[in-house]
Every structure is written in structure tokens, then in C-alpha cells.
Amino acid sequence: MTELSGEPPDLTGETPEAPEPTPEGTVPSVAARLAFYQRAGGVITPLLTALVAFLIGGLVVYATTGKNPVSTYKAIFKGSGLSWLSPVSVHWHTFYPNAVKWTGWNTGNLTALNLQQTLIVVTPLILTGLAVAFAFRCGLFNIGGNGQYTVGAITAVQFGVWFSGLPGPLHVIIAMAAATLAGAAWAGIAGLLKATTGAHEVITTIMLNWIALWIGSYLVGFNGPMQDKREISAPVTKSIAPSAHLHVFWGNPLLQGLHIGFFIALGALVVYWILLNRTTLGYEVRAVGFNAEAARYGGISVARNYFLAMAISGAFAGLAGAIDLLGWEFNLDLISVQTVQIGFIGIAVALLGRNSAIGIFFSALLFGALLNGTSSRNLDPSIFKPELAGNLTRIIQGLVVLFVGADLLILYLWQARKKVRLLQRKAEQA
Amino acid sequence: MSVRAEQLQRAAWTRASAPQTIGLVGIALGFLALWLALPPFGVRTAPAPVAVGILAAAAGIWAISRGKVRVGGGAIVIGLVGIAGALLAMRASSSNLEGVFVWSALLAATLRFATPLTFAAIGGMFSERSGVVNIGLEGMMLMGAFFGAYGADQTGSWVGGIFIGMLSGALLALVHAIFTISLRADQIVTGTAINFLALGVTGYLYNQHYGNNGTPNNLPAIPDVNIKFLSHIPPHGLGNFLYNSIGQLNLMVWLSLLLLPVSYVVMFKTPVGLRIRSVGEHPRAADTLGISVYRTRYGAVILSGALAALGGVFLSIGFLNSFTENLTAGRGFIALAALIFGGWRPFGAFAAALLFGFSSALALRLPDLSASSSAAWPVLFQTLPYVLTLIAVAGVIGRSIPPAAIGRPYIKQ
């Protein structure tokens, strides 16, 4: 099989669609206007997309339960703890003396605790978002984030259990490096197949996801080689040695505080930006993603870049698995191996973030807040059932991905608006 | 045609095909090597399977030396795997072996596991042959699974469940069609979104309607077809075998078998099929001839959603008789794999679905093989469909070639 799609999908967010000739001719075309918005930082389309998705989600809430969507979203927002960051509370105090006082960097209150949990979720989302985005920039669609994350997590556990005598930082670095390499190797299989035989990466990465899932189930599951033999009744690995734990810098380590993995993810954002925009490799990757034929004509090895882009992409996802394991999970059980979703959410993160480092940060924050705010621990069941809210999150994710992929929808909406105006004008004239 | 030319032609034919045939015989011998160690033969000593396996490998080497690398390589690998498998099987006790390899039950389970895959793969074939990639098969199946159960519950009859399930799959497919065909969004991105949406929508509605209690126990089920007379077919063993394997299958299993020739005829022998294929191979040419590319693709995608949903309906009210969140658990992706492995053809996809179904059925039964009945390795059998598809996509065993215009939106001029 050579190519599933002839041209690599244009998902870079850098190349506005060429303006189509409009029948009117004189009016500045809608496409041109959209292109302008995209050039103006590309903020408007993602914002609109998210807004529309949330609106539809709100409609779903209202139509099915009759509850006020605004209060539901408010409860989710409260559960996410993001309000901790809001400086508004300072000003509130001057107007409403009874309002909660800004307590400075108080790590004790519930909001701070919620924010820590949200940022723990945001951390791997940034990384899997980067994994999807890096492949996108090379014109590849990495659906294999789940598998690469799993492989990374398994490797991190194994290395965390081994070498228990090592000093802390060294142990952490070894475990993370091994997991990153494992993720890179796993995605590299897809890259290699694409580079050598032209096998489409979408299909190979989906297959690799399931292979990773079942190999993981074998390793971790009952009587598997990695199952903790002291706990015969539970399919779970041994816990990693304390020396491999990531340092918790905010909150109580016993209550799952925020670990330094968050800064590693932020560092990965910087690495991503530098790698793409300031290195030869990044230039070549972008060139291949922009137009593989032209890149080949320009002397760039397309096959080599396919392989490297997939491997680097997998490295991000593998690192995500390692950070979750070393940061707060500490051991791996069968159910979490079989229900990994983080790679898929990474697709939504990358698409909404327009594959840019800063965009990925904010969309990871959004989805992390949604995930944590709808968890059964944080959402007040009297306002909205957490089981429903979790699925609402999935619906919103789906809508975001659906709309981000369809720039033309916005074009149509513009056109429809214009037609309505035209009709109105005609009606006025008549 | 002169006699001389005819002779030349025949000679050329023999040269080309004899190694091919020998290679295929080698592959068959490789399977035989394994089979010898299993019931009903149940050979308990090494020499026979090893000899047959070596014969298979030898045939493979000969085929390679005559230029048939793929077939020959396949024969060598299968011969060696056959020997290994046979030696492994001999380590299990023969009563355990007979417990696992109840061929009639295995065949019935294989068909049962293959049915949802067949429906979804055939559905996917219509969509992909028309040039629209359908990663969303999984989501469409899931919709069918939930709304099949919901519809059966609400209407009080399984027929209602089937119709409502198909309708829901078709509706979701319509969304896919609008975004990929009219709005020209990336087909893979949209398919991913479809999967998210289906997961969210079905999970949401399931929790709202059934919550913690789950679907009701008295959900109307699609009936089994009991073919009693099969057990009276003369040789008693054969009659029993037939009755136990295909005598008590679900109606949907038979429906999926019926779907195969129908979809083959529609796709390859009727004008409709020709239109679908032409739109998928060269939409511009089809458009020039007056075929509406958009309308054909819309029809094909919606049909694919309805068929995939039928697979989901079978899972919920034909097989498990209940619905839980994410019931399909990746079967839509296996169906996609079967479609690709089967070369975008109905019978090819069905053969792949059977193979995948067999590996699932075996993985479920193999734990009974070892004495402690708790070995972990049979789980690894679950990876078989995916590994095989990887190999097929990479072109090691005969390359599967997709429709030429797949994945490309069409812009009418």
C-alpha cells in the first residue's frame, strides 16, 4: 500500500487555504478573510471552535437533564481549581468584604489541591499533544500516542523497580531516558514502515496501539512476568523504588501533590519549539510536511525525516508515560493499561492548539481542567452527575476535533451570514 | 496460433506456476505439522510433525530457489512455526488438549467473533471503495450497539432494535459524510472525532437511561437459528459436529454470511458498484461521465455506517444481551484491519475476520491448556490480528492496494 491520502493533510495551521475565486469577485473573498485571521496568530478559529463545542455541550446538558448548563460548567470549573490563579478574588474583596480573601500562595486550601490535580493531568496531555503535533508538522498523523505512552509507562516501572540502590536524581533520569527511548522505538516502527514500504502511519500506529495494549496486559496481568508476586489476587506491578519518585514541589506528597514533571513538560514545549524552528532537523521536518515532493527535489531525504519525526513524536509520548508513573502512579495495574486514552486526547490537544507550542499549552490546560473538573472526586453530584460529565467531556473533545478539522465550515457560516444580509437588504428594498 | 507458440506458452506457464504450487503445498504442510499434534490426530511423539515441518521448509527453500520468494518464505516460516507449535502442544496433557480443541465449539466461536467484524468490514469496504477513509467504524459500531439495545428495550422487540441501531449508525455516518465530502475536512481527523463523539454520546445516554443498574435483563434478544435436522445427518460424528458448530448460530451470523455474496455482487457486478468503485479510483473521470461523485460518496458512507452499526447491534442484543460503556472495545479497528488485510474485498475481508475471530476464540480457550490453568501467555494471541495487519500493510505477504483516490476530498469543477 503506497499512500492512503495522496497529499499529506494540511494540518500545520501555517498554510491558509488558497483563496478560491468567488462568483461575486469584487467582495474580498471569505477565504481571504479567514486566511487573514489565521495569519493574525490563528487564535480566533480555535477559540471559536472551543466556544461552539462548549455551546453544543451545554445544549446537550440542557436538553437531556434540564439543568442549567452555566451552573454545570461553573461546577466543573470550580472542580478544576483554576480559580486559584484568578487574581479577581483580590479585587472582589474590596467590593464584597465577605468574599473569600486572597490567601497568597496558600497550598492548604481545597482550590489549591484541585489545581494541583489538574496540573498533574495537564502534564502528560502537553506531552502527548506534542507527540501528535510533531508528527503533524512532518505531514504524519500519529494516532499511536496510547501505545507509545503505554510502552513508556511499562519501561518506566521496570526501570523504577530495578536499580533501587541508585541515588535519586540518577535513578529518575535513567528511568525517564529508558521510557523515552522505548516510546521512540515503538513509534519508530511505524516511521520505519512508512519510510521503507510506504505503509500508512495511521493504520500502523493503530495496530501498534493494540499490540502495546495486549503485550502490556500480558506483562502486568495475572501471572504475567511483571505482576507483583506478593499480590496474587491483583494484577498490578511492584511499586517503583522511592529513589525513582519525582520530587513533589507543591502540596503534600502523601496527598498526591504536584511533581516536577510539570516543569519537564514545560521544558518539552520549549524543546519542541527550538527543535522545529531553530534546527536543521526541524526545517527538514517542516519542509517534508509542507510538501514532500518539493522537499525531495530540494535534496531532503523524505524517508529519513519520516522515521525521525515518528521517533521524536513517540519519544514525547513515552516521556509522558514515564512522568505519570514516576510522578504519582508508582505502579501499573491491568485496568489502567487497558483504558489508556491520553494519546487520543493528545490529538484534540494538538489540533486545538494548532500545533504550536503555546497553543498546545493552553489547550492541554483546557482539556486537563475538563478531565479533572468532571472527575467523580471533584464534581458535586447534586449539580451534575460525574459519570455524565465525563462523557460530556468526550463529546466536547469530539466536537472540537470535528470542527477544527473543518475550516470550510466556518467559511460556509460566513457565506450563510452574507446571504442572510443580502436577503434582508432585498426585503428592505422591496 | 501455431503449435510452436502454444508449446512455448505452456512451457512458460509451467515454469511460472510449478514453484508457486510447491510453495503453497509447503504452506499447507506447515499447518499440517501443527495439526498432527492436535485432536483428532493427537500425535504424541516428535518425529512425525518434525518431519512434515521440515518437508514444508524444504518445499519453501525450493520455491525460493526458483524465484518465488514470498510463497517460499511463507512456507519456511509456517513450517518452523508448525514444528514449534506441535512440540509445545505435546507438552500439554492430551485431555487438556481435547478440552481446548473442541473443533465444533471453536468453529462456532470463530463465526460468532467474526460476525461483528464482517459487518463492519463490509461497511468499511463501501465507504473506502468510494474514496472515503472510515476510521470512524468503531464509533459507528458503538452507536449501533447502544441504540440496538435501547431500541429493543423501548420497542420491546429485537426487530425494532436492529432498525434503530442501523439508523443511529447511518446518522453518525451522515455526519462523517457531511464533514469529509461537503466540507472537505481531513477524513482521518473527522473519523477520530466520530469515535470520540460516539464514545461520549453512548456513554452519556447509557448513564442517563440505565445508570448503575445496567441494561435490563429481559432485553429482547435476536434469536438463534436452531437447525435440528443437522444432527440427524448419517455418520453420527459428522452430524453432531455440524449441529454443534453451525446448528445453533445466531440469526445475525447467517445474515453476515448472506451479506458476503450480496455485497460482492453489488460491488463488482452491478452498475451501482461500478459507480462506487469509479468514484473511488478516479473521481474526475467519473464526474465527466455524469456520475455524481458527492451523491455516490454520501450513499456509500451512510451505507457503511448502517452496516457497521449492524455489527454493533449483534454485539449488544445478539451476543452479550446487554450494553456497557465502550462495549465494542476496539472491534471497529480490528474490522478496519480485516478490511485492509483482505484487500478491500468482501471475501478477503471475511477470511481475515475468520482468522481474527479464530485467534480471539483460541485466546479465550487456551488458558485451559496448562495444568495450573493460569498461564499468562495466551493473552498474547490477542495481538495476532494486529501483527498480521502490520505485516500485510508493510507488503510482506502480498501487498494490499487501496483505492486510488482514497482519502482525497473531491472538488467539483
Domain boundaries, chain B: 3-91, 103-393
For residue A7, list chain B residues with Cβ-Cβ distance below 8 A.
408
A contact test, residue of B192, B331, B410 with most A CBs within 10 A: B192
For residue A408, list chain B residues with Cβ-Cβ distance below 8 A.
183-185
Asked if B189 and A404 come within 8 Å (Cβ–Cβ), the reply is yes
For residue B196, list chain A residues with Cβ-Cβ distance below 8 A.
344, 348, 394-395, 397-398, 401
Smallest CA–CA distance, residue B175 to chain A, in Å, is 10
Is it the case that residue B184 has pLDDT exceeding 80? Answer: yes
The rounded distance, in Å, linking the Cα atoms of B287 and B293 is 6
Asked if A9 and B377 come within 8 Å (Cβ–Cβ), the reply is no
pLDDT of residue B311: 95
Smallest CA–CA distance, residue A64 to chain B, in Å, is 8
Is it the case that residue A99 has pLDDT exceeding 70? Answer: no
Of the listed ranges B86-100, B218-232, B241-255, B330-344, the least confidently predicted one is B86-100
Q: What is the mean pLDDT of residues A13-28?
A: 42
| Tens of pLDDT, residues A371-404 | 888 877 777 777 778 788 888 888 888 988 888 8
Residue of B211, B386, B394 lying closest to A211 (CB–CB) = B386
Smallest CA–CA distance, residue B51 to chain A, in Å, is 33
| Tens of pLDDT, residues B44-73 | 777 778 888 888 888 888 887 777 777 777
pLDDT of residue B274: 94
DSSP state of A248: E
Class of domain B103-393 (CATH, top level): mainly alpha
Asked if B408 and A214 come within 8 Å (Cβ–Cβ), the reply is no
Is it the case that residue A107 has pLDDT exceeding 60? Answer: no
For residue A389, list chain B residues with Cβ-Cβ distance below 8 A.
none
Asked if B340 and A203 come within 8 Å (Cβ–Cβ), the reply is yes
Asked if A207 and B207 come within 8 Å (Cβ–Cβ), the reply is no
Smallest CA–CA distance, residue B108 to chain A, in Å, is 24
pLDDT of residue A29: 52
Name the closest residue on chain B to residue A222, using Cα atoms. B376
Confirm if A157 and A331 have CB atoms less than 8 A apart: yes
Mean pLDDT estimate for chain A: 81
Confidence of residue A40 (pLDDT cuts 50, 70, 90): very low
For residue A139, list chain B residues with Cβ-Cβ distance below 8 A.
none
Confidence of residue A224 (pLDDT cuts 50, 70, 90): confident
Name the closest residue on chain A to residue B388, using Cα atoms. A207
Asked if A5 and B406 come within 8 Å (Cβ–Cβ), the reply is yes
Residue of A1, A387, A397 lying closest to B401 (CB–CB) = A1
pLDDT of residue B259: 95
The rounded distance, in Å, linking the Cα atoms of B66 and B70 is 11
For residue B402, list chain A residues with Cβ-Cβ distance below 8 A.
1, 4
Share of chain A above pLDDT 70, in %: 81
Is it the case that residue A202 has pLDDT exceeding 70? Answer: yes
Integer CA distances (angstroms), A137 to A13, A351, B56, B114, B281, in order = 9, 11, 47, 38, 28
Name the closest residue on chain A to residue B208, using Cα atoms. A388
The rounded distance, in Å, linking the Cα atoms of B5 and B2 is 5
Of the listed ranges A133-142, B31-40, B269-278, the least confidently predicted one is B31-40
For residue A344, list chain B residues with Cβ-Cβ distance below 8 A.
192, 195-196
CB pairs under 8 A between A and B: 188
Asked if A401 and B376 come within 8 Å (Cβ–Cβ), the reply is no
* DSSP code per residue over B357-397: HHHHHHHHHGGGSSTTS--SGGGGGGGHHHHHHHHHHTTSS
Q: What is the mean pLDDT of residues B287-297?
A: 92
pLDDT of residue A27: 47
For residue B390, list chain A residues with Cβ-Cβ distance below 8 A.
193, 199, 204, 207-208, 211
pLDDT of residue A24: 40
pLDDT of residue B94: 67
Residue of A193, A202, A210 lying closest to B386 (CB–CB) = A210
C-alpha cell at position B169: 449508525
Confidence of residue B7 (pLDDT cuts 50, 70, 90): low
For residue B340, list chain A residues with Cβ-Cβ distance below 8 A.
1, 203
The rounded distance, in Å, linking the Cα atoms of A171 and B4 is 78
* DSSP code per residue over B7-34: HHHHHHHHHHHHHHHHHHHHHHHHHHHH
The rounded distance, in Å, linking the Cα atoms of A367 and B212 is 26
Confidence of residue A41 (pLDDT cuts 50, 70, 90): very low
- Its ipTM equals 0.79
| Tens of pLDDT, residues A319-361 | 999 999 999 889 999 988 988 889 999 998 998 888 889 999 9
Is it the case that residue B177 has pLDDT exceeding 90? Answer: yes
Q: Please give the helix or strand (H or E) that residue A259 lies within, else none.
A: strand A258-259
Residue type, A23: P
Confidence of residue A258 (pLDDT cuts 50, 70, 90): confident
For residue A196, list chain B residues with Cβ-Cβ distance below 8 A.
394
Asked if B190 and A412 come within 8 Å (Cβ–Cβ), the reply is no
The rounded distance, in Å, linking the Cα atoms of B336 and B389 is 10
Residue of B196, B333, B405 lying closest to A401 (CB–CB) = B196
Confidence of residue A164 (pLDDT cuts 50, 70, 90): confident
pLDDT of residue B16: 52
For residue A72, list chain B residues with Cβ-Cβ distance below 8 A.
none
Asked if A391 and B204 come within 8 Å (Cβ–Cβ), the reply is yes
Find how far residue B91's CA is from the centre of its chain: 31
Asked if A388 and B208 come within 8 Å (Cβ–Cβ), the reply is yes
Classified as helix, coil or strand, A250 is strand
Name the closest residue on chain B to residue A401, using Cα atoms. B193
Beta bridge partners of A184: none
Asked if A65 and B208 come within 8 Å (Cβ–Cβ), the reply is yes
Q: Pick the most confident of A146-160, A322-336, B369-383.
A: A146-160
Share of chain A above pLDDT 90, in %: 37
Asked if A402 and B175 come within 8 Å (Cβ–Cβ), the reply is yes
The rounded distance, in Å, linking the Cα atoms of A163 and A146 is 27
| Tens of pLDDT, residues A405-419 | 676 566 666 666 677
Q: Is B348 left (phi over 0), alpha (psi -120 to 50) or beta?
A: alpha
Exposed / middle / buried, residue A74 (Cβ in 10 Å: 0-12, 13-18, 19+): middle
Asked if A197 and B337 come within 8 Å (Cβ–Cβ), the reply is no
Asked if B179 and A405 come within 8 Å (Cβ–Cβ), the reply is yes
Asked if A64 and B208 come within 8 Å (Cβ–Cβ), the reply is yes
DSSP state of B373: S
For residue B348, list chain A residues with Cβ-Cβ distance below 8 A.
none
Mean pLDDT estimate for chain B: 84
Integer CA distances (angstroms), B2 to A3, A338, B6, B7, B10, in order = 45, 67, 6, 9, 13
Q: Please give the helix or strand (H or E) that residue A249 lies within, else none.
A: strand A248-250
Is it the case that residue A108 has pLDDT exceeding 90? Answer: no
Confirm if B89 and B45 have CB atoms less than 8 A apart: no
> Domains in chain A and their CATH numbers?
30-102+109-429 (1.10.3470)
For residue A395, list chain B residues with Cβ-Cβ distance below 8 A.
196-197, 200-201, 204
| Tens of pLDDT, residues A263-311 | 999 999 999 999 999 999 999 999 998 888 899 999 999 999 999 999 9
Q: What's phi and psi for A237, nearest 5 deg?
A: -80, 170
Of the listed ranges A299-303, B133-137, B171-175, B248-252, the least confidently predicted one is B248-252
The rounded distance, in Å, linking the Cα atoms of A266 and A357 is 9
pLDDT of residue B8: 59
Asked if B207 and A391 come within 8 Å (Cβ–Cβ), the reply is yes
